[in-house]
């Protein structure tokens, strides 16, 4: 594949709503998780800060049609507006849109279902506002774009699958520009209860609630977070190019259990090899891991890295210890960390991880994501 230009990136998450805020958040060693009391329990979650949610509230109030939309849609609209502005894309431009979400309109769906249980009827807007397709279609409405609109769910690798799809359209010559992203607002009692039922949710009481990439941990420590990210992709390398996509990889495992991956993550081995098929593996300087904070999830990915890279192990990092697992948005928030490390030429360490050897320069980074179903994605980015 020829390199794809990354012309802009934007996000809103517990780390902030601007690139400067996000980078400054990465420079400290504090996590962004708080204890939240739901109706039946109190658990750790990572929420977008109240001051940043003011921008989402203003967006909801700015258009009467937006007042009934779920936060997954509003988060995505916000990030998409900023990304396209940075890229210099104009209202009415011809570009594709693919924004995915693992769960979609979680809060709205639960609200409407509760209403149905109580009354036996459902609101008029219950269906159109809870379909996954309404994320990209509302963004197209907001940006007044011309081009294809796609929304999908491929569990926790959704955002990077959106990126794969955008790359495919660009490589095929069907579009010159593509907006891709992921959005998730899963911090509801029912969603947290689902993760608790899987026995993966953090029960830590002090220190870091999520011990992602802590190889000494003896229990699962996943924590949910919320957020959205959007990236502008273009066929041509221009003065606006902030980084390039040099390779993509994907793979799916044959599962033994609905939520499992093999001990050495065969799907990640295949996806990383595919992403790097046109370079020497020694050229990879760092890997932003999926690393959800579970014992098996973290260890299997690290085992896959060892299998693929052998004696040359790139610098390994993750961000879930800081902002939690944002499900369908997590892959592009990983991608954001990779872009920021390339831009600032500084590697972000996990504060409780074992020290690692650092490369003198950061030229190429792999970004990973995987979800239920063993569907791994790896993306190789470079300066």
Give the span between the Cα atoms of 109 and 105, in whole angstroms. 6
In the chain, what are the domain boundaries? 4-234, 244-382
| CA 144 from centroid of its chain's CA atoms | 25
Strands (E), the chain: 4-12, 34-37, 42-46, 96-100, 149-150, 177-184, 224-225, 227-234, 243-252, 286-288, 315-317, 364-369, 375-382
Give per-residue pLDDT as tens, 347-357.
Answer: 999 999 999 99
What contacts 63, CB < 8 A, 6 or more positions away? none
* Closest of 1, 13, 8, 216 to residue 95, by C-alpha: 8
State mean pLDDT over 259-283.
90
State mean pLDDT over 252-280.
85
**Domain 244-382 in CATH 1.10.10.10:** no
- Comparison of pLDDT for 225 and 256, the residue scoring more: 225
State mean pLDDT over 57-79.
97
DSSP state of 129: T
Alpha-helix runs per DSSP H in 88-199: 106-119, 133-143, 158-171, 189-197
Q: What is the pLDDT of residue 256?
A: 67
Q: Using pLDDT thresholds of 50, 70 and 90, give the confidence band for residue 141.
A: very high
CATH number of 4-234: 3.40.47.10
Please give the structure tokens belonging to residue 231: 């990236």
**Whether pLDDT at 180 is above 80:** yes
Greatest CA span in the chain, whole angstroms? 64
Pairing of strands 177-184, 96-100: parallel
Mean pLDDT of the chain: 95
| Same fold? 4-234, 244-382 | yes
Give per-residue pLDDT as tens, 82-115.
Answer: 999 999 999 889 999 999 999 999 999 999 999 9
**Whether pLDDT at 262 is above 90:** no
State mean pLDDT over 278-290.
97
Q: What is the pLDDT of residue 92?
A: 85
Q: Using pLDDT thresholds of 50, 70 and 90, give the confidence band for residue 258.
A: low
What contacts 110, CB < 8 A, 6 or more positions away? 188, 190
Q: What is the pLDDT of residue 23?
A: 98
Q: What is the pLDDT of residue 100?
A: 96
Give the span between the Cα atoms of 116 and 136, in whole angstroms. 27
**Whether pLDDT at 259 is above 80:** no
Q: What is the pLDDT of residue 263?
A: 85
Give the span between the Cα atoms of 244 and 170, in whole angstroms. 13
Give the span between the Cα atoms of 309 and 285, in whole angstroms. 11
Q: For the ranges 153-162, 255-264, 274-283, 362-371, which has the lowest average pLDDT?
A: 255-264
């Amino acid at each position: 594949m020829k390199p794809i230009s990354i012309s802009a990136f934007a996000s809103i998450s517990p780390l902030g709503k601007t690139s400067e805020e996000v980078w400054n958040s990465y420079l400290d060693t504090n996590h962004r998780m708080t204890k939240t009391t739901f109706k039946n329990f109190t658990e750790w979650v990572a929420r977008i800060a109240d001051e940043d949610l003011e921008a989402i509230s203003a967006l909801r109030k700015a258009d009467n049609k937006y007042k009934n939309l779920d936060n997954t849609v509003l988060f995505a609209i916000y990030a998409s507006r900023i990304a396209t502005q940075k890229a210099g894309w104009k209202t009415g431009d011809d570009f594709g849109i693919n924004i995915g979400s693992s769960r979609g309109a979680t809060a709205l769906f639960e609200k409407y279902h509760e209403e149905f249980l109580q009354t036996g009827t459902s609101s008029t807007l219950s269906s159109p506002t809870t379909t996954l397709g309404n994320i990209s279609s509302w963004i197209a409405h907001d940006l007044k774009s011309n081009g294809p609109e796609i929304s999908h769910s491929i569990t926790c690798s959704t955002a990077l699958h959106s990126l794969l799809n955008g790359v495919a359209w660009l490589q095929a010559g069907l579009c010159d520009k593509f907006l891709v992203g992921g959005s998730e607002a899963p911090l509801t009692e029912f969603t947290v209860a689902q993760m608790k039922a899987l026995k993966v949710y953090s029960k830590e009481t002090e220190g870091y609630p999520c011990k992602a990439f802590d190889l000494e941990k003896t229990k699962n420590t996943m924590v949910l977070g919320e957020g959205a990210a959007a990236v502008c992709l273009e066929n041509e390398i221009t003065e606006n190019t902030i980084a390039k996509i040099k390779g993509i990889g994907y793979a799916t495992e044959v599962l033994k259990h609905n939520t499992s991956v093999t001990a050495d993550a065969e799907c990640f081995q295949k996806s990383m090899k595919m992403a790097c098929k046109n370079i020497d593996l020694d050229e990879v300087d760092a890997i932003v891991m999926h690393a959800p904070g579970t014992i098996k999830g973290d260890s299997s990915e690290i085992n896959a890295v060892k299998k693929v890279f052998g004696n040359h192990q790139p610098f390994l990092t993750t961000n879930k210890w800081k902002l939690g697992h944002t499900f369908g948005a997590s892959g592009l928030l990983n991608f954001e960390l990779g872009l920021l490390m390339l831009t600032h030429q500084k590697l972000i360490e996990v504060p409780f991880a074992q020290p690692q050897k650092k490369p003198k320069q950061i030229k190429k980074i792999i970004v990973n994501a995987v979800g239920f179903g063993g569907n791994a994605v790896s993306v190789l980015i470079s300066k």
